[in-house]
Amino acid sequence: MSESAAAAPLQHTLFPSQSPQAPKPSATGRSSLWMSLFFPRLSLEVLDADVDARPWAVIDEAHGKQIIHAASQPARKKGVETGMALTAAYALCPELATEQRDLPAEQARLTDLADEAMQYSSMVSLEPQALLLEVGASLKLFGGLQALHARVAGDLRQQPYRVEIAVAPSPQAALLLARCGMQACITESAALRAELGKLPLAVLPVSEKQASLLVRMGLRELRDLWRLPRAGLIKRLGLEFIDYLDRLLCDKPELRLSHKSAPIFSASWHFPQETENLTFILYGIEQLLPRLVHFMRLRELALNRLQVIFYHADKETSCLHLGTRQLCRDETHLSTLIRERFNQEKLSAPVLELVLLAAEFHPAAIGNQALFAPGEEQDTDWQQVLDQLQTRLGEEAVCHLQLRDEHRPEYAWAYTLTDHAEPQTHGLLKRRPLWLLSQPQRLGSRLKEIQLTSESERIEGGWWDGFDIRRDYYQARDRHGRRLWLFRNLQDGAWYLQGLFG
């Protein structure tokens, strides 16, 4: 009956540096050691495709031009390289399949990986396409660097990602070495100069202008820099650049912001004995709800998805999913929803324990509403009614009728799920019946009994999606006096009934 630990780290932001186990690089008395995990193919790996089955490339935009960000092995065989213009790539490899770079997806994968990496170090930071782990503090726990390295490499081998691992005494050096694909493992800062000196200058994260200046002065490798006067370098390349070199060589300490797991609320309630009694179960849930609401208040969050997981005997579980139309952190509303649901659904078996789980939170806008806004008040009421209806009947059962901007009658309206934007019904159709047949009905002999009562309205369109129509519409009356909406199909000359006027 306790909140899971996963929710804890967020409190650091509220009460900074209170946590006793937070590593302080300078305070440990031991110089820190950094491990960098660089994922060179991440942008390809997040794609939902077998990128090595055929030439694939992920493209990115630079200076308004499409360029190759990463290319799969078959594409590289054809000469497609990172940094190449897309058009050039197509010239080499016309069958190249491409996808725009999906940065959010990459970031999400990286975050997942960071979550996992928290097991090796309490200090994990997210870098572009890479993770950085402070492992100095973890060495003892894992039995030395070699063992830790083997463990990390081994674990990552289970993952579908290619990774370059490098270890160095400074974060920047670890990152640089990993990016260069150097499987280096440097533990002494004294060794950094010699090791890094071999790297070409082109790998440094410098501006184009700086890069070209370095080339124009005939400098090729990092070691060429070590020989030059510091003051002269500052003058030519700027303080920032020298600062970077200092950090690279461990001459200047550097701190990174640690990655933090996303907030998850999870709280459980044990029943003294198995129960099917709804009263008990609802009581349990209602004990947990205030804690959930408190959790959200603290963090200025709200939810629209909530799960109740039931544990039955023999490790069986079942689950109840709840959703709200609007972001919510109102205890009563949540409670009502849950009660409504129990009126509909039956428990599959007696329950031993239940867990209230919320994993998706959003920044809350609640409480910022104007004090006197009756319209909104009513709207909220209406939303709550809808919530209740949906909870009771299922989400798909409640729909809006939505008008669409379209000439073709069949396409001029649609059902939409209620959680989509506002219903649009203004400008209600003129000269259109409210009742449309689901399929236009061909009029055979009955045509004789029908009298046209309007001039024709010609509608032609839709060729672009393959449902081209060409029709002359009329209003008409049949012998029972019903008002009909008919059309003559100009493609086959036949008459059809499309709708009835009320």
User: Which residues of this protein are in contact with another protein, per CB under 8 A?
Assistant: 59, 66, 78-79, 86-87, 90-92, 94-95, 97-98, 100, 213, 215-220, 224, 227-229, 232, 235-236, 404-407, 431, 454-461, 463-466, 470, 472-473
* 206-216: burial string, b at 16+ Cβ within 10 Å, e else: beeebeeebee
Number of helices and strands in the chain (H, E):
16, 20
Q: Which amino acid is at 180?
A: C
Question: Following DSSP, what letter does each residue of 139-203 receive, concatenated?
Answer: HHHHTSHHHHHHHHHHHHHTSS---EEEEESSHHHHHHHHHTT---B---GGGHHHHHHTSBGGG
- Determine contact, residues 268/354, Cβ cutoff 8 Å: yes
- Determine contact, residues 195/186, Cβ cutoff 8 Å: yes
Provide, rounded to whole angstroms, the least separation between the CB of residue 61 and another protein.
10
SS3 call for 306: strand
Checking phi first, is residue 106 left (phi over 0); if not, alpha (psi -120 to 50) or beta?
alpha
Q: Cβ neighbours of residue 313 under 8 Å, at least 6 residues apart?
A: 274, 349, 350, 352
For residue 257 the two structure tokens come to 């912001």
Residues 337 and 332: their CA atoms lie apart, in Å, by: 9
- Among the listed residues 364, 363, 358, the one whose alpha carbon sits nearest the alpha carbon of residue 3: 358
Q: Count other Cβ atoms within 10 Å, centred on residue 4.
A: 13
- Determine contact, residues 459/469, Cβ cutoff 8 Å: yes
